[in-house]
Amino acid sequence: MREITASGQTVEEAKENALKQLNLNEEQVIVDVIDEGKRGILGMFGSKRAYVKVTEKEDALQTGKTYLLDVAHEMGIENIDIEVSQQEQEMKFDFVGDKLGMLIGKRGQTINALQYLTNLVVNKNQETYFTVVVDAENYRQRRQDTLENLANNLAKKATRLNQEVKIEPMPSFERKVIHTALHDHSEVSTYSDGRDPHRRVVIKPNTME
């Protein structure tokens, strides 16, 4: 990460000088004004130059991609690449390659761990918070389909038995899929119970008190 201090007649000019030296535009940097400077009389007497410190922003998307690729390589996975996309505050890293099963793991536990770690790395030095999604072989979509199916089946079970049905513990973004899937269901409602990492969705028939 590069950082320089530059000066100019005004803050604006100092900033421009710094950007020119770094060869960056305004959106790629953080500007700290060190001294606002003074104009002085007739622009000659008692004038003081303005100083700013300009720091290059880390490209969070690149940081995340590099991190995931480095970790995957060290795990011994070769011939792998990542497709990156960003939509507002959500970054998506999609692994492309073969033998990605090892990256996904049982019930996605490895890919979820990688997603959590990447989230920490990406957000470490940022002012804005980014949501990170790590995907491989369309795992997230497949998992969402599975969870929606599961939700519907367990909703039927809950109605049939007239009993609460507890689903196994899962991370928040997976619980959300269940809640959303059953949100408009006429016969059941859902809530979460317990504390992470053991927090789980409970499906409750509406006929129950």
Partner 1 sequence: MKALIETIVTPLIDYPADLHVEVEETDAKIRYHITVNENDVGKVIGKNGRIAKAVRTVVHAAHSNTDKKVYVDIM
Which tokens belong to 138? 């369309």
Q: How far is CA 193 from the centre of its chain?
A: 25
x-marked contacts with partner 1 along 182-201 as a string, rule CB under 8 A: --------------xx----
Among 33, 96, 102, 161, binds partner 1 (CB under 8 A): 102
Q: Is the Cβ of residue 8 or residue 105 nearer to partner 1 in the bound state?
A: 105
Q: Is 18 left (phi over 0), alpha (psi -120 to 50) or beta?
A: alpha
User: 52 and 11 in contact (C-beta within 8 Å)?
Assistant: yes
x-marked contacts with partner 1 along 112-141 as a string, rule CB under 8 A: xxx-xx--xx--x-----------------
Specify the stretch interacting with partner 1 by CB under 8 A; choose among 12-20, 105-113, 159-167, 180-188.
105-113
* Alpha-carbon span 16 to 142, nearest angstrom: 49
Question: Which SS3 state, helix, strand or coil, does residue 191 take?
Answer: strand
Q: For 89-112, b where at least 16 C-beta lie within 10 A, e where not — what string?
A: eebbbbbeeeebeebbeeebebbb
Q: Residue 2 CB, nearest distance to partner 1 (Å)?
A: 18
Q: Does the protein bind partner 1 through residue 19 (CB under 8 A)?
A: no
Show the 3-state SS of 45-96: ECCECEEEEEEECCCHHHHHHHHHHHHHHHCCCCCEEEEEEEECCEEEEEEE
Q: Does the protein bind partner 1 through residue 100 (CB under 8 A)?
A: no
Specify the stretch interacting with partner 1 by CB under 8 A; choose among 3-11, 111-119, 146-154, 172-180.
111-119
Q: Does the protein bind partner 1 through residue 103 (CB under 8 A)?
A: yes
* Alpha-carbon span 181 to 178, nearest angstrom: 5
Q: Is the Cβ of residue 74 or residue 209 nearer to partner 1 in the bound state?
A: 74
Q: Does the protein bind partner 1 through residue 59 (CB under 8 A)?
A: no
Among 13, 24, 28, 105, binds partner 1 (CB under 8 A): 105
Q: Is the Cβ of residue 43 or residue 76 nearer to partner 1 in the bound state?
A: 76
Residues at the interface with partner 1 (CB under 8 A): 63, 67, 70-71, 74-76, 102-103, 105, 109-110, 112-114, 116-117, 120-121, 124, 196-197
